[in-house]
Amino acid sequence: MTGWQVDKKWTDFYLPEVKRILGEALIGEPPVEEDQQRNTDLIVLRMEAVRIGVRIRKEKYMKSYAQEFTIRTSRPSGTKTELRKIIEGWGDYFFYGFAGNDSLKAFVLADLNIFRSTYHDMVSDGAKKWVEKTNYDGSSDFCAFQWRDFPRNFIVYSGRV
| Residue ranges per structural domain of the chain | 48-160
All residue ranges of the chain with pLDDT < 50 are: none
Total-model pTM: 0.84
Q: Residue 45 has what pLDDT?
A: 67
Contact 65, 79 (CB under 8 A): no
Task: Please tell me whether residue 100 adopts helix, strand or coil conformation.
Answer: coil
Q: What digits encode the pLDDT tens for the residues 26-51? A: 888 888 888 788 888 888 866 678 89
User: Which ranges constitute the DSSP H helices of the chain?
Assistant: 3-12, 15-26, 32-38, 62-65, 82-87, 112-125
Q: Residue 57 has what pLDDT?
A: 93
| Backbone region of residue 39 per phi and psi (left: phi > 0; alpha: psi in -120 to 50; beta: other values) | left
Task: Please tell me whether residue 98 adopts helix, strand or coil conformation.
Answer: strand
